[in-house]
Structure 1
Amino acid sequence: MSISLSGQLADALLHTRPRDEQRQRAREGVVDYFACLLPVQLGLLDDAGLEPVRRAFPAQPGSDNHALQLGYMSHALDFDDYHATFRGHPSAVVLSTLLTLAQSLPHLDRNAFLDAYVVGVELCGRLGKAIGTRHYAAGLHSTATLGGIAATGAACRLLHLSVEHTQVALGLAATQAAGLRAQFGSAGKALHAGFAARQAVDSVRLAQGGFAAQRDAVLEAFLDILGLGAARPDDLLAGWGAPWRISVPGLEFKRYPTCGGTHSAIEAAFALRVAEGFSLEAIDAIEVSFPPGADTAPSIRQAQTGVQGRFSLEYVIADALLNGVIALERYGEQAVEPAIAALAGKVRRVPDLSAPADELDPDLRFHRVTLHLDDGRRLSHCVTRKQTAAAPTDVLAKLRSNLHALPGERLDALCADLQLADDAALHRLVALIRCH
Structure 2
Amino acid sequence: MNPDSGLTASLGAFAARPQDFPAAALQVAAAGVCDAIGTMFAGRKDAAFATLRKVLLPEGLAASSGEASVLLGPVRTRALDAAFLNGVATHALAMDDVAAGCHPSALLVPALLAEAETLGRSGRDLLQAYVVGYEVLAELASREPDALHGAGWHPSCMLGPPAVAAAVARLRGLDAQQCTAAIAAAASMTGGLVANFGTQTKAIQVARASSAGLLAARLAAEGLTASSDALERDPGLLKAISPQRRARLDGVFDPGELRIVTQGLSIKKYPVCYSTHRVVDAAADVARQPGFSAEGVQGVQVDIGSMQAWMARHHEVRTPFEAKYSVEFAAASGLVARDASFAQLSDDFIHAPLVQRLIAATTLRLHEEKSADDPVFSPWDRVVVTMKDGRVFDSGEVAYALGHARRPLDAQARRRKFLQCAEAGGFENGEVLLNKLENLQDLPDVRQLST
Q: Report the CA distance shift for 1:180/1:333 in structure 2 as closer, same or farther (over 3 A).
A: farther
- The correspondence for 1:38, drawn from 20, 37, 41, is 41
Matches within 5 A, 1:11-410: 11-15=13-17, 17-41=20-44, 46-58=45-57, 60=66, 61=68, 62-83=78-99, 85=100, 87-106=101-120, 108-220=121-233, 221-228=236-243, 229-234=245-250, 237-238=253-254, 240-242=255-257, 244-331=258-345, 336-339=350-353, 340-352=355-367, 355-356=369-370, 361-362=375-376, 365-386=379-400, 388=402, 389=404, 390-393=406-409, 394-404=413-423, 410=429
In 2: Cα distance, 1:210 partner to 1:164 partner: 10
SS of equivalent to 1:290: strand
Aligned to 1:413: 432
In 2: Cα distance, 1:295 partner to 1:236 partner: 35
> 1:428 and 2:443 equivalent?
no
Tell whether the 8 Å contact from 2:281 to 2:401 is kept in structure 1 after alignment: no
Aligned to 2:12: 10
In 1: Cα distance, 2:372 partner to 2:425 partner: 41
Q: What amino acid maps onto 1:34 in structure 2?
A: I
In 2: Cα distance, 1:345 partner to 1:182 partner: 24
Q: 1:421 deviation in Å?
A: 4.8
SS of equivalent to 2:300: strand
Q: Report the CA distance shift for 1:25/1:337 in structure 2 as closer, same or farther (over 3 A).
A: same
Tell whether the 8 Å contact from 2:320 to 2:345 is kept in structure 1 after alignment: yes
Q: What per-residue deviation string (whole Å, max 9, x for no partner) do you get for residues 177-224 of structure 1?
A: 100011111111111121101111211111111123333345431111
Q: 1:426 deviation in Å?
A: 2.8
Q: 1:407 deviation in Å?
A: 9.9
Q: 1:280 deviation in Å?
A: 2.3
Q: Report the CA distance shift for 1:146/1:409 in structure 2 as closer, same or farther (over 3 A).
A: closer
SS of equivalent to 2:202: helix
Q: What per-residue deviation string (whole Å, max 9, x for no partner) do you get for residues 87-116 of structure 1?
A: 12111111111111112213x132221110
More displaced stretch, 68-77 vs 359-368: 359-368
Q: What per-residue deviation string (whole Å, max 9, x for no partner) do you get for residues 293-329 of structure 1?
A: 3323222222221122111110011011112222214
| Structure 1 unmatched ranges of 5 or more | none
Q: What amino acid maps onto 1:403 in structure 2?
A: A
Q: Report the CA distance shift for 1:57/1:335 in structure 2 as closer, same or farther (over 3 A).
A: farther
Q: Report the CA distance shift for 1:360/1:92 in structure 2 as closer, same or farther (over 3 A).
A: closer
Q: What amino acid maps onto 1:55 in structure 2?
A: K
Q: Report the CA distance shift for 1:96/1:332 in structure 2 as closer, same or farther (over 3 A).
A: farther
Q: Report the CA distance shift for 1:4/1:391 in structure 2 as closer, same or farther (over 3 A).
A: closer
Tell whether the 8 Å contact from 1:27 to 1:114 is kept in structure 2 after alignment: yes
Q: Report the CA distance shift for 1:408/1:196 in structure 2 as closer, same or farther (over 3 A).
A: closer
Q: What per-residue deviation string (whole Å, max 9, x for no partner) do you get for residues 25-74 of structure 1?
A: 11111111111012333xxxx31222210122238434312111111111
In 1: Cα distance, 2:388 partner to 2:85 partner: 50
Identical positions, percent: 25
Q: Report the CA distance shift for 1:406/1:231 in structure 2 as closer, same or farther (over 3 A).
A: closer
In 2: Cα distance, 1:406 partner to 1:387 partner: 25
More displaced stretch, 162-171 vs 400-409: 400-409
SS of equivalent to 1:266: helix
In 1: Cα distance, 2:195 partner to 2:347 partner: 18
In 2: Cα distance, 1:219 partner to 1:57 partner: 35
In 1: Cα distance, 2:216 partner to 2:112 partner: 13
Q: 1:375 deviation in Å?
A: 2.8
Q: 1:272 deviation in Å?
A: 0.9
In 1: Cα distance, 2:203 partner to 2:289 partner: 37
Q: 1:364 deviation in Å?
A: 5.3
Q: Report the CA distance shift for 1:260/1:165 in structure 2 as closer, same or farther (over 3 A).
A: same
In 1: Cα distance, 2:181 partner to 2:335 partner: 51
In 2: Cα distance, 1:254 partner to 1:235 partner: 33
Q: What per-residue deviation string (whole Å, max 9, x for no partner) do you get for residues 66-89 of structure 1?
A: 111111111111111111x2x121
Q: 1:347 deviation in Å?
A: 0.6
**What TM-score do the two structures reach when normalised by structure 1?**
0.89
Q: What amino acid maps onto 1:305 in structure 2?
A: T
**What TM-score do the two structures reach when normalised by structure 2?**
0.86
In 2: Cα distance, 1:292 partner to 1:286 partner: 17
Q: 1:164 deviation in Å?
A: 1.2
More displaced stretch, 10-19 vs 137-146: 10-19
Q: Report the CA distance shift for 1:426/1:400 in structure 2 as closer, same or farther (over 3 A).
A: same
